[in-house]
Amino acid sequence: MTRNSWLRWPSREALSRERLGGQRSALAWIGRAAIAGFVLWNVITEPAAPTWESSVDVAVLLVCALGWQLFLRTTLAHRLVPSLAVLAAVFGGAIGAQAAGFTTVGMVVWCSGIVLALKRLPPAVGLAAALAAFAGFVPVADKPWTSTVLTAATFCLVGYVLRLDAEGRGRERRLLDQERAALAAEAESAALTERARIAREIHDVLAHSLSAQLVHLEAARLLVERDAPKEQVLERVVAARGMAREGLAETRQALSALRGDMVPVEDFLRALVDVDVEVTGSPRLLSAETSGTVRRVAQEALTNVRKHAPGASVRLRFSYGEGEVALEVRDSGGVRREGELAASGSGYGLLGMRERAELLGGSLDAGPAEDADGGFVVRLRVPE
């Protein structure tokens, strides 16, 4: 042992009686029953018939037991001086009882002192206290020195074994507390992750829908101020209403996803309007994050087609791969307008989708198709 080890208290978890467990509680009660049986046996087998002195002997022993209870409390608080004061008081009581002829009290107190001192005090202090208890035990034992030393060594071994058991229980309790703290931290982290996912869902749905509505409504306002034809104003209002309906439908889908009752991805994709959908691979359950990302990218890609290539046909291919899923949205070209999305990642919507895919460890590429078919293509790959 190092110097610090000799002066180190057993942990409070080791000294506490909480969560002893069934086996340890049974052993503790067996030990108490053995001590009580020892006392009663000595009272019954004394040469003289039981007298009032026998009752006093038991009463004094109970007082000493109360002293031991106080000793347990002070050692639990790691208070060295009060612990030694209580121990000295109990030893003093044993010496007085022994001088008055109550040898049973002395026998029990000295043996208990050896065990409890080695179990609950710092090793150096406990060893000194055990030696003091052994010195008081020798006159009471009244046996050959070999038998006395063997008995004292047995009690020392019992005290040391109980100390090791208590320290093992303390380590087990600390590990259990650490495990519970880790589980609580993991649950909190999962809750924060879920909140972030909900925030992304709300942002992806509402920000896109509301911003599009604002554009159409602002255009309608400007047309009204310029006394534009009624048909142009009505066209903008109808477009804003259509965006509101789409936003409401997407919000309902997002809420269904958050409740965990969203439809499979392939069913969602097949329900898209005016899209040729092809699904390959073995369908399987995807995580909420992966499923949500696939849906949002498909919606964003179709929105870009309607805005930048009106009238173009759209082909969507979704495949289940090994440990990942892939989505490809390709349009036939259409008539593109000036200032439209002409290069990879130049739109804010797809930029947000790319960031979302990268958060999952995937990738998103968007740009003009390089093959002879032409058009614009969006490719997404994300792990399951």
Rounded average pLDDT over 193-209: 73
State pLDDT tens for residues 15-53.
Answer: 876 655 566 666 666 766 665 566 556 555 554 444 555
- Structural contact between residues 54 and 63, judged by C-beta atoms closer than 8 angstroms: no
Give residue 1's pLDDT band: very low, low, confident or very high (50, 70, 90). Answer: low
What is the pLDDT at residue 107?
A: 80
Signed CA dihedral, 168, 169, 170, 173: sign only: positive
- Structural contact between residues 350 and 365, judged by C-beta atoms closer than 8 angstroms: no
Provide the token pair at 369.
């198709």
Within 142-207, residue ranges assigned H as helices are: 145-202
Provide the token pair at 375.
């058009």
Task: Specify the pTM.
Answer: 0.48
- Residue at token pair 């969560």: 19
Q: Which amino acid is at 6?
A: W
- Residue at token pair 């009272």: 43
Provide the token pair at 130.
């055990």
Q: Which amino acid is at 99?
A: A
Which range among 92-96, 152-156, 271-275, 316-320 has the greatest average pLDDT?
316-320
What is the pLDDT at residue 22?
A: 62
Lowest mean pLDDT among 110-114, 327-331, 366-370, 373-377: 373-377
For residue 133, give the nearest of 158, 107, 157 by alpha carbon.
Answer: 107
Contacts (Cβ under 8 Å, ≥6 apart) of 102: 53, 56, 57, 60, 61
- Identify the residue with better confidence: 358 or 251: 358
- 102 in helix, strand or coil? coil
- Alpha-carbon distance values, 172 to 13, 122, 163, 164, 179 (Å): 9, 20, 14, 12, 10
Residue spans of beta strands (DSSP E) within the chain: 276-280, 314-320, 324-331, 363-368, 376-383
pLDDT at 208 > cutoff 60: yes
- Structural contact between residues 114 and 152, judged by C-beta atoms closer than 8 angstroms: yes
Rounded average pLDDT over 202-222: 79
- Structural contact between residues 91 and 113, judged by C-beta atoms closer than 8 angstroms: yes
| Architecture per CATH, 263-384 | 2-Layer Sandwich (3.30)
Q: Structural domain boundaries of the chain?
A: 3-142, 263-384
Distance in angstroms (rounded) separating the CA atoms of residues 366 and 330: 10
What is the pLDDT at residue 272?
A: 81
Which range among 10-24, 169-183, 190-204 has the greatest average pLDDT?
169-183
Within 260-364, residue ranges assigned H as helices are: 265-270, 288-308, 348-359
For residue 343, give the nearest of 358, 322, 365, 320 by alpha carbon.
Answer: 365
- Alpha-carbon distance values, 275 to 80, 262, 364 (Å): 81, 21, 20
What is the pLDDT at residue 345?
A: 39
Distance in angstroms (rounded) separating the CA atoms of residues 363 and 380: 6
Using DSSP bridges, classify how beta strands 376-383 and 324-331 pair: parallel, antiparallel or unpaired. antiparallel
